[in-house]
Amino acid sequence: MSKDNVLIKFGNRIRLLRKQNDWSQEDLSFKSGFHRTYIGMIERGERNPSLKNISVFANTFNISLSELLKLEINEMG
């Protein structure tokens, strides 16, 4: 799996969780402390978030890091 593909899958995961919570990008921005444009870039796979930022997303969604990182693991091997 290419690096870019991982970023796209992570972005899709963030978008899915955001929509499951019925949050706009602005809502997620307010709750996480990240700028709305950064969230959009994450969702489009344009940014490679740090582990610290990934942890903030997990905390914001009130899930574990391992739950957040469920990105179709079978394709990664």
CATH number at residue 17: 1.10.260.40
Q: Indicate the pTM of the whole model.
A: 0.88
pLDDT in tens, 13-39: 999 999 999 999 999 999 999 999 999
Which structural domain range is residue 36 located in? 3-71
Task: Say if 40 falls within a structural domain.
Answer: yes
Task: Say if 13 falls within a structural domain.
Answer: yes
Residue range 65-77: average pLDDT?
Answer: 73
CA distance to 10, 21, 22, 54, per residue, from 49 (Å) = 10, 21, 23, 6
Instruction: Round the average pLDDT of the chain to a whole number and report it.
Output: 91
Domain count, the chain: 1
% of the chain with per-residue pLDDT over 70:
90
Task: Say if 76 falls within a structural domain.
Answer: no
Distance of alpha carbon 12 from alpha carbon 40, whole angstroms: 11
Q: What is the pLDDT of residue 51?
A: 97
| The pLDDT of residue 52 is above 50 | yes
| The pLDDT of residue 76 is above 50 | no
AA identity, residue 10? F
Whether residue 65 contacts residue 54, with contact meaning beta carbons closer than 8 Å, is answered with yes
